Structure 1
Amino acid sequence: MGDSISSLPDEILGKILSLVPTKVAASTSVLSKRWRNLLSLVDRLSFDESMVVYPNEEEAKNGSQRFSDFVDKTLALLHNSPAIKTFSLCRVVNTKSYDDESARVSRWISTAMEHGLLELHLYAPTTGSNVVIESRLLRSNTLVKLTITGHYDFHETHHVFLPSLRSLYLMVFALDLYRFEQILHACPVLEELTIRRGDFPYMPAISFGTLVEHASIKRLVIVTDHPDHADYYLSSDYFDTALDTVRFQAPSLVYLDYSSFVSKEYDVDDLDSLVEARLSLKLWMSTSCYDFDDVYYYDYHGYLYDDDEPSPPIFGDVTCLVAAIRNITTLHLSPDSLEVFHFCCTSMPMFNNLLTLSIESNKQKGWQVMPLLLECCPNLQTIVIKGLVHKVTNRCGDACACNPQNPSQKKRKKIKENQKVCCLRTCGVKVLEISDYGGRFQELQQMRYFLGNLERLETVKVLVDPDKNSEFVRANVMALPRLSSKCTIQFI
């Protein structure tokens, strides 16, 4: 069989070589004279040292030098290349010579930038001293996408200027709020911004994720929580400073994905352009002692208990943040966010435009806010729930089938004799989607409660846990009575 690939035009072969790791592309030069000079047509360079396996420490040291030599040689061969669109570097940093490493990486970035680079992706996974990126390197009229992940540092950022950059991804170990602001101001047409803490336990990302002011950002993703070290931050001065106020000013924002421990307060302008929000907000402390706290039960459901000393307030106030997103059409809430909405939101706005509400549930977190939230979504069409099992408290309300038992056995009396109408009865939801359904007793009871109270329900989609006896689970669900005559049940 003839070599049909070699007969393709040079431009096509260059595109093919651009899709494979650069080491593979470079190795094709020894195939024949036809392939010898095709590397110069590659417009995507990808150097990944993490894929190299060294048998011992000495070999790793020598191998690391050989990797550097390979990058140098490849870039030298491409000095006449018309354009390099994408440059990706995953470098396992030798912490014993990080000054040389910074100089070496700077040289590579500079060389790539000279070719009108469109995308730059940098990753340094090794812990230890950081690779310093000089701000002069981040000056480009062509760069549209920048990713910096791992142990990189910016000693100064006042020379950064990226007038064409539209996508910025930062998951770096060392970056303070001041330098972060300078970088943002140097990207006037930025549309996508992602900030992540990553796998660095004491990384100060929570600091530079607390202030985002930009006129053109449309998509914002912030993941700055510290789940493994909450006690450390609670007991330090950091808790009183970095967690004081979070400010978002992004009038063009369309999508928000925000994951963090709750802050003291939020200063957020109205996000009138926002369409979809995904929130994973976490409390700094357990709410177990509040599960049967009467002060909240009185506020939400009209029950009056014997007077006791109220529990201390829970840290954080998301009232301003929740009010700012009131015009969205799609809202995703984590299990922790449900509790944050309950404990840290003093007034719930009307979500008049909300069409889809998606929540995730687990047995450690309650549904206390669900009745109030559903009442504030008059035009809701779809509810998506991952997992129906949740913590049972005496404030679950009428959005679920729970029958809580107050361990303190306090006497209570209703302020009103008439029973309040179930919030599900006034809910106009037509589509209910349930995933991770296992058919346990509490789940079956909750399904019965939904089907028996959502009178406008038309479609129920159930994704059954693959580890369960699906036929038995399906039969139990199909046997449940349905208030809506139009309701059909689909199993996925």
Structure 2
Amino acid sequence: MEDMFNRLPNPIISHILSFLPTKEAASTSVLSKRWRLLFISVTNLDFEGDEESPTFVGFVDRVLALQGNAKLNRFSLNFTDYPDPDTVTGWILNVLKRGVSEIVLSVSDYPLPPEIFVSKSLVKLKLEGGEGLSFTADVAKVLLPKVKTLEIESVEFEEGGVGFVKLLSGCPVLEELVLMNLGWEHWKSCSVLAKSLKRLKFFCEDNDENPKSVSFDTPNLVYLEYSDNIAKKYPKVKFNSLVEAHISLRLTEDQSADAVSDEEDEYFYESDDGEVKDMAGNATNFFKGICNVQILYLSAKTLEVLAFCCEATPVFNNLIQLTVESDEEFGWDSLPGLLKNCPNLETLVFKGLVHKRTKGCGEMCLCKPLKDPSYISSSTVKVLKIILSVHIDDEGSEVEEIKHFLEKMPQLDQLIVYFDISYEHSVFELSKKLQSIPRIASPKCNIQVISQNLSLSSTVPSSLTKKWSAPPKEEYTWFLKAVT
């Protein structure tokens, strides 16, 4: 085997070494002069050090010196032992001179050098700070003409939002942007302005801070993940090309506690002394901005925001698939109005059915006496998918909810209930209960109840068909997508 490996061409061996941890790849350089030359041509360098590696700095220095000016593809540095800034800057300048195309930095207490923001070779830049990794006011200019992917996590911008705007403006061909753990205590407003951007992941910490203003000017964006406390306002939201969005907007804990509704289903905020307060924020403009989306995922907290922080629910004419997360602490008050405004919806996915009992569910569930029909009886949904994580014996209300959907939704072609843990007994029990429904709104509906190891299907009122094997992959890809 060793002789076969040695007979491989040098470029192939160097390529293989590039996928090994740098420490292991470097150890091959002592085998022979040939292997030393092979390591010099390795194009990916990944360094990880900690307090238990006192020789780490010396190791990085030796590797970089050994490689000289050889072309480099990726340089990754994960250093948890508070490095000397001048040492790290020396390493970065070294790889920048060698035309590196990808830099990944996970370093604490380090002011990023201005040179990293004027690279003509970088295509991907990932910056992650445990604490103290900062974009300082010393960065006078940003010019990254080739950067297509930018990932920022826990980075402090000493100029606040101004520094962030400067960074984005210097990336004219940026296609993917990831923003993680932004802290609103450092900057109150954010504007994502990137005409070329196609994918955006925006995650802010769940704390007691609300941003004052958040804007998006990304006309070519096709994919969005957005998780944040609701902003006071959304002055500009431009998502002309949006196809898929995962939204998790939320109230702070205090704001959620103050949210109430009256007998007329009017939603407002009330202080402890009964005084009515203004909305915590206004998300109307944000939801109008995403109304062209085709595939939408909403957290349970987002349903609360829709109920209490939206003047009106926009019409989602292009929406064909909607996934809704349910939680026993949050109601479905906004769901009837939302579904009513999705005239072309074909697939509806529920991740759980348990939710807070409120006055606003309407015809969506059996929490309260039925009111005037709102959506469910005129539903256009053809495929209903439900993800359950409980034994049905323990949660009879979920069975009744599923029966309610079958009895009321007239266009259903398929109902799929997925138990995300192997509950074979629950699969059988639920299948039997659904078979016993005397009348369903759509008699052509095919019903599937599946778990990881068992799948039962039927078309009411025909008998059940049993499959004693794992469901075909296509049966549960929707589930995997719905929960990621």
TM-score (norm 2): 0.84
**What is the Cα deviation at residue 204 of structure 1?**
4.1
Counterpart amino acid of residue 242 in structure 2: L
Question: In structure 2, how many angstroms separate the alpha carbons of the residues matched to 1:324 and 1:375?
Answer: 18
**What is the Cα deviation at residue 174 of structure 1?**
1.4
Question: In structure 2, how many angstroms separate the alpha carbons of the residues matched to 1:149 and 1:79?
Answer: 27
Counterpart amino acid of residue 16 in structure 1: I
| Greater RCO, CA 8 A, separation 6+ | 1
**What is the Cα deviation at residue 102 of structure 1?**
1.1
1:197 is paired with a residue of what secondary structure?
Answer: strand
1:27 is paired with a residue of what secondary structure?
Answer: helix
Cα offsets for 1:51-88 (capped at 9, x unmatched): xxx6xxxxx3xx33x1011011001111142x211111
Q: 1:216 aligns with which of 178, 196, 203?
A: 196
Counterpart amino acid of residue 207 in structure 1: W
Aligned length: 433
Q: 1:67 aligns with which of 56, 68, 76?
A: 56
Tell me which residue corresponds to 2:74.
Answer: 86
Q: Is the 8 A contact 2:331 2:355 kept in 1?
A: yes
Q: 2:228 aligns with which of 253, 260, 273?
A: 260
Q: 2:280 aligns with which of 315, 318, 327?
A: 315
Tell me which residue corresponds to 1:273.
Answer: 241
Tell me which residue corresponds to 1:482.
Answer: 440
Q: Is the 8 A contact 2:49 2:80 kept in 1?
A: yes
Tell me which residue corresponds to 1:410.
Answer: none
Residue 177, structure 1, aligned to residue 161, structure 2:
yes
Question: In structure 1, how many angstroms separate the alpha carbons of the residues matched to 2:449 and 2:29?
Answer: 54
**What is the Cα deviation at residue 476 of structure 1?**
2.9
Q: Is the 8 A contact 2:260 2:267 kept in 1?
A: no
Tell me which residue corresponds to 2:111.
Answer: 132
Q: 1:186 aligns with which of 159, 164, 170?
A: 170
Tell me which residue corresponds to 2:309.
Answer: 344
Question: In structure 1, how many angstroms separate the alpha carbons of the residues matched to 2:322 and 2:76?
Answer: 38
The two structures, once aligned, show a CA RMSD in angstroms of 2.3
Question: In structure 2, how many angstroms separate the alpha carbons of the residues matched to 1:312 and 1:293?
Answer: 14
Change (3 A) 1:246 1:427: same
**What is the Cα deviation at residue 316 of structure 1?**
0.7
Counterpart amino acid of residue 442 in structure 2: S
Q: 2:366 aligns with which of 381, 395, 401?
A: 401
Question: In structure 1, how many angstroms separate the alpha carbons of the residues matched to 2:228 and 2:280?
Answer: 14
Question: In structure 2, how many angstroms separate the alpha carbons of the residues matched to 1:419 and 1:136?
Answer: 64
Change (3 A) 1:298 1:80: closer
Residue 389, structure 1, aligned to residue 345, structure 2:
no
Q: Is the 8 A contact 1:157 1:182 kept in 2?
A: no
Cα offsets for 1:231-288 (capped at 9, x unmatched): xx4xxxxx6xxx2221111111211211110111111244221111111001123545
Alignment of 1:224-263 (within 5 A): 224-227=204-207, 230=208, 233=209, 243-263=211-231
1:432 is paired with a residue of what secondary structure?
Answer: strand
Tell me which residue corresponds to 2:477.
Answer: none
Alignment of 1:436-447 (within 5 A): 436-438=388-390, 439=392, 440-447=395-402
Change (3 A) 1:397 1:312: farther
Change (3 A) 1:213 1:355: same
Counterpart amino acid of residue 388 in structure 2: D
Counterpart amino acid of residue 215 in structure 2: R
Question: In structure 1, how many angstroms separate the alpha carbons of the residues matched to 2:199 and 2:87?
Answer: 33
Percent identity, please: 35
Change (3 A) 1:154 1:2: closer
Change (3 A) 1:403 1:423: same
**What is the Cα deviation at residue 134 of structure 1?**
1.1
Cα offsets for 1:17-50 (capped at 9, x unmatched): 0011100101112334542321012111111125
Counterpart amino acid of residue 211 in structure 1: S
Where structure 2 has 5 or more consecutive residues not aligned to the other structure, the ranges are: 269-273, 451-484
Q: Is the 8 A contact 1:162 1:187 kept in 2?
A: yes
**What is the Cα deviation at residue 419 of structure 1?**
5.9
Counterpart amino acid of residue 428 in structure 1: T
2:245 is paired with a residue of what secondary structure?
Answer: strand
Counterpart amino acid of residue 459 in structure 1: Q
**What is the Cα deviation at residue 462 of structure 1?**
1.5
Q: Is the 8 A contact 1:317 1:344 kept in 2?
A: yes
Q: Is the 8 A contact 1:180 1:208 kept in 2?
A: no
Tell me which residue corresponds to 1:428.
Answer: 380
Question: In structure 1, how many angstroms separate the alpha carbons of the residues matched to 2:92 and 2:29?
Answer: 24
Tell me which residue corresponds to 2:299.
Answer: 334
Tell me which residue corresponds to 2:148.
Answer: 166
Q: 2:409 aligns with which of 423, 435, 454?
A: 454
Cα offsets for 1:105-151 (capped at 9, x unmatched): 11111111122111111012x5xxx1111112322112111000013
Change (3 A) 1:68 1:474: farther
Tell me which residue corresponds to 1:154.
Answer: 135
Q: Is the 8 A contact 1:388 1:437 kept in 2?
A: no
Question: In structure 2, how many angstroms separate the alpha carbons of the residues matched to 1:5 and 1:482?
Answer: 65
Counterpart amino acid of residue 66 in structure 2: L
**What is the Cα deviation at residue 290 of structure 1?**
4.6
Counterpart amino acid of residue 73 in structure 1: R
Question: In structure 2, how many angstroms separate the alpha carbons of the residues matched to 1:376 and 1:401?
Answer: 21
Cα offsets for 1:275-332 (capped at 9, x unmatched): 1111100112354565552353599xxxxxxxxx884343110001111111111111
2:80 is paired with a residue of what secondary structure?
Answer: coil
**What is the Cα deviation at residue 173 of structure 1?**
3.6
Counterpart amino acid of residue 154 in structure 1: F
Q: Is the 8 A contact 2:288 2:314 kept in 1?
A: yes
Q: Is the 8 A contact 1:205 1:224 kept in 2?
A: no
Q: 2:263 aligns with which of 282, 294, 298?
A: 294
Q: Is the 8 A contact 2:221 2:239 kept in 1?
A: yes
Question: In structure 1, how many angstroms separate the alpha carbons of the residues matched to 2:260 and 2:436?
Answer: 33
TM-score (norm 1): 0.83
